[in-house]
Copies of this chain bind each other. A is one copy, B any other.
Amino acid sequence: MRVEEIAEKALRIVKPNKLEEKRFGRIVDEALKAARELAENAPGVVDVTLEGSAAKNTWVRGRAEADIFIHFDPETSREELEKRIVELGTELIEELGGEPMLMYADHPYVEGIIDGVTIDVVACYRVEPRKWIGATDRTPYHTRYVIEKLGPGQVDEVRLLKGFMIGCGVYGAEIKVRGFSGYLTELLTIRYGSFLDTIRAAASWKPPIVIDLEGYYESVEDVLELFRDSPLIVIDPVDRSRNVAAAVSHRRLSEFILASKLFLKRPSLRFFRRVPGRPRASNILKLAKNRNILYVYFRLRERKPRDVIWGELKRSEEGIAKALERLRFKVYRREAWTDEDKRCLLVFELDKLNLPSYMLHQGPPIHLRNAEDFLEKWIGRGIGPWVDDGRFYVLRKIGETSAIKLLAKEIHGGRVSISRDLASYFGKALIDSDLRRLFKRAGRDVKLLEFLQEFLKAKPPFL
């Protein structure tokens, strides 16, 4: 099938149908109305608006979300604003019949699910562009920009791009994914015109990529100088000092490029469908056979905001990987997971689970003065020392060779850079390589099994 045909078919996957659209519209209107009534007399509140994909009509099927923004006067203090948004958000969600959850990005907001629609109640300051006080202050301007620039036919192009990215596992700017935000997909569509033209452009990307829609900068070099280390730089039309793609990791960008190439070569609807294929524990044990998997599992005493726990886990994952490398294990791959409730898991694939009993240790050249210190230190303590190429060598006996025990010791000794807020959990975590013991402790529900299956298959979903 030609790409155009596939894109047409894919639209049925990503685009809400009339009924869904109608229901969504009703719920959002209701929420917005209730929010405005609630906020009417609230001190500091100057406006209530609908933002995000709901406002731009770019939301995709299965991801019905509406961001209700409460705008505050810039005179309002941050404490005041945070206090008010929590109160207002909670009240609103409750009034709509939902269960309010307090969330954090770099600011608190309240989330609730009403008839299958996720409603986020978010605060921002009403300020002029580039006089931002908080991170959310730009959002209303983003909405306005996209509505202005996106032609009527292009909303479906955005939906296709989002659906493609969801299917390929690169959608979402949150720490868990480090992929493409909704706003970013909209800007890409504005830049390239359509879903297919975006994909065609991406297929030949060689990072770093620079997109400066409003032509704020004289040259690509200027941009690269300013946003070093970013593989994808999309200048925010609303704020020239901001990279809209700052959250996109090199890995997710590469996966998107690769998926674009492959899709153009062999167009298929499977790029839009993420089918994990019924994970079973027995299959996962089979996948893990003969491989060196080390995991760290623990349960939180109480749930943490999504972005907080993901951030802490990712940082800890990196710290543990560094510790393992320091202990002379090679970390092939690693991943963090949480059910976003209480269960947390870090998984590492290593070159081995045990060090050799003896390790080669190079000493100084024998003509150096410290050669004798080396001799005195090592004689009788290892195998050797012997002389080769004018240097001393010994085989050092490794007392503890198990990766599991060595890592546990490092963690207990406080020598691993793990998120401080999780330190007490890591101290009592299950550190092991046997996945059966993990299942015993953590259960074998679908989400965990899905994560493990993806980790062990070690392929992006579109491959």
Contacts and interface: CB of A to CB of B under 8 A. Distances in A.
B257 A332 contact: no
A117 to B, nearest CB: 34
A204 B458 CA distance: 57
B250 A207 contact: no
A239 to B, nearest CB: 28
Interface stretch (A71-79, A125-133, A353-361): A353-361
Given A254-B366, A257-B366, A357-B290, A459 B386 contact: yes
B390 A250 contact: yes
What are the 4 closest A-B residue pairs judged by CB atoms, nearest first?
A290-B357, A384-B458, A254-B387, A206-B367
A387 B254 CA distance: 7
B206 A251 contact: no
Contacts of A371: 258
How many copies make up the complex? 2
A255 interface: yes
Contact of A389 (B250, B359, B372, B395): B250
9 contacts: A207-B367, A261-B372, A290-B357, A290-B358, A291-B383, A351-B359, A385-B459, A386-B458, A395-B458
Contacts of A154: none
Nearest to A359: B351
Interface string A348-389: 010110001111100000110001100100010001111111
A360 B386 contact: no
B367 A356 contact: no
A291 B258 contact: no
A428 interface: no
Contacts of A356: 292, 351-352
A463 interface: yes
A311 interface: no
A460 B387 contact: yes
Contacts of A366: 254, 257-258, 261
Interface string A201-241: 00011110000000000000000000000010000000000
A137 B291 CA distance: 64
A122 to B, nearest CB: 33
B332 A360 contact: yes
Max chain B CB contacts within 10 Å: which of A206, A332, A457? Answer: A332
A333 interface: yes
A304 interface: no
Interface string A252-282: 0011011001100100000000000000000
Nearest to A333: B386
A359 B330 CA distance: 11
Contacts of A250: 389-390
Given A207-B390, A254-B389, A386-B459, 6 more contacts: A205-B367, A207-B367, A250-B390, A261-B372, A290-B358, A351-B360
